[in-house]
Structure 1
Amino acid sequence: MRQDAVRGHLDGLLLAVLEPAPLHGYAIIIAVQQRSGGALELRTGTIYPALKRLERLGLLRSSWEGTGQRQRRCYELTDAGQRYLATERTAWQDFTTAIGSVLNPVAPQPHGLAT
């Protein structure tokens, strides 16, 4: 899938994979890839600036967690992030319905015939 297909939907994708539980950056990349059946491959240069921006907006919070001698930053949704994700889901449904109506129109019924 083209990388530009994700543009405009990245925030919703990141928030959605963080909804069940906090994840670190690489785990977020893997979660998006797995959920999309391999169709979406995000780059670290794409997600880390987006994660920082979402944190500045108050939609995410992060903390450092240690695994052995390694420290990695984990991200989780805030209450505001949950609300924003719900809004994104509604907007996505509206968008796909509108585009689907254009790309796959329902054949008009002849007059006098009800469906």
Structure 2
Amino acid sequence: MTEVTNSSCFGDGDQSITNRKKLREALLRQCKELDLICHGAHWILPRYTVLPSVSDGMYHASVRLRCLDFDMSLTGGLRPTPYEAKCSAAANMILELHKKAEEQEE
């Protein structure tokens, strides 16, 4: 996935490209972060299912996390590669785990 920004049309093109790269890199680390969360909590590692979208060539992923206390399954957004789709699902799972932790603290 390549994006080109013309700075004369969109203002500071270098800044927007840099921000997109940082966001993409952060999202790609979500799979590793979810694995670390599971490892630290002594949970079974998450299971991913990645499927291609027939209509547009993108990929869709879901992630399932099963523990003694809960069983959650979430999906990610459509992404151009299987790995990015997997990381999108992992990012959604991490958000839900944070929400679950906040609920338990209350």
Kindly name which structure, 1 or 2, has the bigger radius of gyration based on alpha carbons.
Answer: 1
Structure having greater relative contact order (Cα 8 Å, sep ≥ 6): 1
